[in-house]
Structure 1
């Protein structure tokens, strides 16, 4: 694997969160809140005829230092703007003088059950529309540009977005954390017996969110939702609902068309890629096989340990003059938060 880029510390897990599973489950077991100041609710109507909207919460720092990029944070599968890792990153960004938008994907957060369509791993048109609207509607807020950070499923979406044509000029860079860059390999890994508890929990959450959507009897939507009820695996869910609802023949076509691995070579703006090789959900082979050195815009931060969107490490790993995200009387953010702040410093 490539060496750590300059200025980024190694990841060291902290007790008692040893091993990939405890790293992955820590936020679920502890449910940290990460208090944030009151933000402004924003709505982003989609211009695709569905009437759907995306929602987010915008926070502005008490003291902004220069034209710092707006940080747009996007959650993973079955998450929302209130996922602990999103709130933690927003707090770290605010502490360093960046405005932060906690964005809900289509059909997530306050719009569960209130949209005609739902997000998926490659729905970059929604993100592109939000970023363009932010740049056009908030010129002061985006004067320093935009950095978008995606976690888990949204990490795949963000990498795909960065490698596609039509990226809004205001986007200066991106970060992807624990991204399933090969969706087919990730789906197969989820079917392994060791991942059955994760699999069942995620499938239950996905079904609940999707079945909350309205559908007219006899419509295509009603047929797709019936397939959701029948699904016994995430592959079944993708094959019977996600693929046909979005115009693909089957799950394998959905995976092939939307896997970020196809788009990494097209990324030309700085993009930090954070991943742990012991991630229980995502096979390490696609990360190991990719030629990172041949693509200078990509900054691989690939470490041996950390689980899936875990990275709960020692708090004695300061970066710069003080731990990133640390406020008077408070604690530093997570290792990933500190790496995001380091990435933002390199853009400055």
Structure 2
């Protein structure tokens, strides 16, 4: 019997063939699914080409190939980061990483809100160059991080640098939430999941200083919810040309329930990081006097172990909500996506334990022709790490989408 027909050789061949098909099936399971309307109306360009109306769907399938190309629209996780839990933990562990993709520094500008609060704007490559070119038409991207985050997180810096070095050469400004990123605390009210006024003020300010530049919005996690809610509130009057959200918690009640579950991710990664950040911000604001009618139980705030406890005792009361239920309902961007009137792309992961897919208003993405949803099977929460060494996948579709619009 020839050697290649021996039982050992046949066994190896069968194993190799089985491994090949298993690998092929796994890669196919990593295919991106895009959800959007088939309607022939859209706010994308509001113009026609030789073949008819240019819709959001047209843009996605001709310009955003990382999401729609049958040959390349996959997000295959790094081999040792194959689950959402591993993706999330790894991304959290390297939040301060500085490498060639993210080694940047900002120039800071402070902005005062109507209630006296201070918000910091971190500009890259710098605001002074922009101030000296008032007639500049370079597009500007306004970016917001998630809860407890800032311009210093690795995925933020990597996105900022990539956009600045892209073909269009975006100027990028990170809108830090009040009380974060070492921003002076000048108002007792902290940021929350539904506070859109700070971002609205930042957009107006940037537009006033750069009237010839097109503006785009990019939000991550809680920042994505604030951005999405803002777009719906602004509706036809929105000053942004387009927007992208990543891991948006469209339904805050669903996301809050997931974040407050007792599990490895929440107990040892997410809750300790978020709680320490929020408690530090509250402590830094102790020099500011609250309205006497707002009765905060300081001991409950001090001893809070879960995010919902801080929300219930502090955020709800200081922001004027009746209770947690009202706070969640009025803060959830799912209630505003119907009114979005500019091109909007949401990128969410199906194995995200912090913003679970059950909170995504799928039907609304089929009904509003201005919005689209890209579902990634294995991205975790703000992970989306692929290749070796791991690189952030979502930066490319963000750049493709906003570049196609502006």
TM bin, normalised by shorter chain, reads 0.7 to 0.9
The answer to whether the 8 A contact 2:301-2:313 is kept is: yes
Q: What's the counterpart of residue 154 of structure 1?
A: 223
Deviations 1:13-51 (A, max 9, x none): 113322112211223323322544554321111122x2x
* Cα offsets for 1:165-206 (capped at 9, x unmatched): 377653111111111111111111123222332334422332
**What are the within-5 Å matches in structure 2 for residues 284-295 of structure 1?**
284-287=357-360, 289-295=362-368
Count of residues paired in the alignment:
327
**Are 1:41 and 2:105 an aligned pair?**
no
Q: Which runs of 5+ in 2 are unaligned?
A: 1-31, 36-59, 68-72
Alignment of structure 1 residues 1-348 onto 2, 5 Å: 3=34, 5-6=60-61, 7=65, 8=67, 9-30=73-94, 31-33=96-98, 34-48=101-115, 50=116, 52-60=117-125, 67-96=137-166, 97-111=169-183, 113-139=185-211, 143-165=212-234, 169-194=238-263, 195-197=266-268, 198-214=270-286, 215-216=288-289, 219=292, 223=296, 225-287=298-360, 289-314=362-387, 334-348=392-406
Q: Which runs of 5+ in 1 are unaligned?
A: 316-330
- Retained in 1: the 8 A contact 2:118–2:185? no
- The separation in 2 between residues aligned to 1:301 and 1:101, in whole angstroms, is 25
- The C-alpha deviation readout for 1:271-328, integer Å capped at 9, x for no partner, is 110100100112211226434121111121111110001111137xxxxxxxxxxxxx
Is the CA contact (8 Å cut-off) linking 1:58 and 1:102 kept in structure 2?
yes
Counterparts in 2 of 1:10 and 1:151: CA distance versus 1, 3 Å: same
CA distance in 1, matches of 2:306, 2:261: 11
Summarize the Cα distance change of 1:224–1:78 in structure 2 as closer, same or farther, 3 Å threshold: farther
Are 2:236 and 2:341, in contact at CA under 8 Å, matched by a contact in 1? no
Structure 1 residue matching 2:375: 3-state secondary structure:
strand
SS in structure 1 at match of 2:345:
strand
Distance 1:69 1:303, change over 3 A: same
Q: Tell me the equivalent position of 1:328.
A: none
Residues 194 and 226 in structure 2, CA contact (< 8 A), matched pair in contact too: yes
State the Cα deviation string for residues 85-131 of structure 1 (Å, max 9, x = none). Answer: 11011001111111111221111112265543211111111101110
TM-score, length-scaled by structure 2? 0.74
- State which structure, 1 or 2, has the greater radius of gyration over its C-alpha atoms: 2
CA distance in 2, matches of 1:69, 1:244: 39
CA distance in 2, matches of 1:225, 1:134: 38
Aligned-residue CA RMSD (Å): 2.8
Deviations 1:137-181 (A, max 9, x none): 233xxx231111111111100000000037765311111111111
Q: Which moved more, 1:203-212 or 1:146-155?
A: 203-212
CA 1:136–1:29: 2 relative to 1, 3 Å: same
